[in-house]
Chain A
Amino acid sequence: MLRFIVRRVLQLIPTLVGLSILLFVWLQRLPGGPEYALLPDDATDEQRASLRRSLGLDEPLTVQYLSFLRRIAQGDLGTSIASGRPVLEEFLTRFPATFELAVSAMVIAVAVGLPLGYLAARRRGTVLDFAAVGGSLVGICTPVFFLAFILKVVFAERLGLFPSAFRLSPGLDRTNLSGFAVLDGLRTGEWDVVADALAHLVLPGLALASIPLAVIVRMTRASVLEVLEEDYVRTADAKGLHRNTVRTRHVMRNAMLPVVTAIGLLTGSLFAGAVLTESVFAFPGIGSFIYSATQERDYPVLTGFILIIATVYVFINLLVDISYSLLDPRVRAQ
């Protein structure tokens, strides 16, 4: 098991190095080169010259790349053009909001998707199955931002059931410990904050959950259908094991393998999906910041955020692989 993990971690190195090269090249290719892309349009020639020096743009490319790596390793991802604050700081301030949003979306998707997919497989060919499969196909085909707008107009603006924007109601008195509104509220016992934060998560959470939910329903259904056909399930049934034991120990455990992979990868993609959802709900997270960075051509923010998100994604991938090997001993054996 340890060897498997070590090998997988070592495999990350080329991926991460390649990623940094990709971003480095990307930065070089930006319109006007880094000294134009990384500074506001009204920057003076002296500022550009000093940036050239500090980035070492006169050095050979290899030296430039190494110093680029060194700056990344030191946590220096540049400075946002729009706000003038360090990119890493901007990321860390916004991360808790997006994390809470992604977790709520994933909770919705898994809590609804797994049982629905399972039931659809058990009752194959029934109305329920048809609705689940049809619904998830439509879900995949619906642009996320449109769904978000519909949810916002119907449930927030027309019916007034949930707040339509932001993460917390303005003027709410709360103790900020870590930036995670829900966790902070739970720790300090400020239940009104918890309720308020959760209410703000419902609509964006639902919008963001639509695609993972659809994928999970379909994968669970397909996977359960496949496992139900297996000989060992028939054997387990035939030898008189309790129905629930067969369902949990035999069917679900084996059917979960591909679904776990999908859930992990979907979680990674949620950070990108959040770009659309967050901008609709003015949710102050990573996604809405990327959106405004795109509008303002804030390249340092784009590069930095993409680097962080891709790294997180790669590590989520690693966790998926490790959990996969815990679930399936055959993977480890290789």
Chain B
Amino acid sequence: MTTPPSSQNPAGTGTRGGAAPLLGRKAAKVDRLAELMGERGDDGHGAGVWREAFLRMRRSPMAISGAVIVTVFVLVALFSPLIAPYSPTAQTWGAEVFPNRNVFVGPRAENLLGLDNLGRDQFSRMVIGARQTLLVGVVATLVGFCVGALLGGSAGAAASLGGAWGRRFDNVVMRVIDMMLALPTLLLAVTVAALIGPSLTTVMIAVGVAQIPIFARLLRGAMISQGSRDYVLAAQALGVRKRRIALAHILPNSMGPVIVQSTLTLATAIIDAAALSYLGLGNPDPAFPEWGTMLADAQRFLSSAPSLAVYPALAIIVTALGFTLLGEAMREALDPKVRK
């Protein structure tokens, strides 16, 4: 349950073969510390690492602020129809707002955050938008996680257990992954989006696809570093079937960094989704306001009604920050080297 060598060097594309001695040395160091740590676990099954990580996180202000932000965001998103006082699409106050003449309505008793450029209640749109944003983030992360874990997991298992053919398979898969990494994330997303046309699904798939190579590399790295551990050797010696070793022994022990990465990916997914919306590839349906689309739409009025852009922008920044803080805190808590 250690941070794998690849996450010491999260951007370490292409140095896979080249930097092995350096990373190998680091991995050895991390692994030894992790073993020491594992021995102190109550049941000896490595659960101690998670418990200790949790205890450490409870003391970390970073983790607490992250967790609070994320909890509030998720609660708002889940109960948004109950919280939002008005419909996000009803242009109830349409007669009070004239964007052409720079007439906007700011916060007031009935509209907590004022009205948007079409006379809709900004607060309701923000609240409903939270749900869309959460949906985009979660689905995109799941797409990246599932496909990436499948690719990286099979490559990692093949490399550590499959012998010469396994290493060959691993090599082919990793070439494909390297190729995907060669496309900058945003371009990859734009390419996918250009293929399937603008919609919410497009954004989710596009952002998710761009995350696949990261998850794949991470899980593969973690599985290979676990593959050389004593417990794997022991299982092999006992004659446990390879598929079982890979799925029941190596995989669960390699999930730590991947779970951390998922938390961080939720943040990037929300930001990337906003960028795609800005590029006009987001959901054109006004019934489902999403923060990225709202922000992109509000840019036109930035000099006359900055608040229209600032609310969704702040929401995106704070939410992304929440996930990032939580992810970083988890990474630190799980990393024995940072533990003092």
Contact = CB atoms under 8 A, between A and B. Distances in A.
Interface of A: 4, 8, 11, 14-15, 18-19, 22, 26, 29-31, 137-138, 140-146, 149-150, 153, 157, 215, 219, 226, 257-258, 261-262, 265-266, 268-269, 271-273, 275-276, 290-291, 294-295, 297, 299, 302, 306, 309-310, 313-314, 317-318, 320-321, 324-325, 328, 330-331, 333-334
Contacts of A271: 184
Task: Identify the interface centre among B21, B184, B325: most chain A CB within 10 Å of its CB.
Answer: B184
Nearest to B25: A330
A30 B309 contact: no
Contacts of B237: none
Q: Is the interface of A mostly helix, strand, loop or mixed?
A: helix
B14 A276 contact: no
B12 A261 contact: yes
Contacts of A325: 18
A203 B19 CA distance: 37
A146 B313 contact: yes
B17 A302 contact: no
Task: Identify the interface centre among A14, A149, A320: most chain B CB within 10 Å of its CB.
Answer: A149
Given A141-B316, A266-B11, 14 more contacts: A11-B17, A14-B175, A19-B179, A141-B321, A143-B271, A143-B316, A153-B306, A265-B11, A269-B185, A276-B186, A297-B194, A302-B194, A317-B14, A324-B15
Nearest to A295: B280
Interface of B: 8-9, 11-15, 17-22, 175-176, 178-179, 182-187, 190-191, 193-195, 197, 267, 271, 274-275, 278-281, 292, 295-296, 299, 302-303, 306, 309, 313, 316-317, 320-321, 324-325, 328, 337
Contact of A141 (B12, B13, B194, B324): B324
Contacts of B309: 146, 149
Contacts of B292: 143
Contact of B18 (A22, A258, A262, A324): A324
Contacts of A262: 11
Contact of B275 (A145, A226, A261, A306): A145
Contacts of A4: 18
A18 B14 contact: no
B191 A26 contact: yes
B299 A149 contact: yes
A271 B275 CA distance: 15
Task: Identify the interface centre among A18, A141, A145, A272: most chain B CB within 10 Å of its CB.
Answer: A141
A310 B183 contact: yes
B184 A143 contact: no
A42 B324 CA distance: 48
12 contacts: A15-B179, A30-B195, A31-B195, A141-B321, A219-B11, A261-B12, A275-B187, A276-B279, A290-B190, A302-B194, A310-B183, A333-B21
Given A144-B275, A276-B278, A294 B194 contact: yes
A313 B184 contact: yes
A310 to B, nearest CB: 5
B340 to A, nearest CB: 11
A259 to B, nearest CB: 10
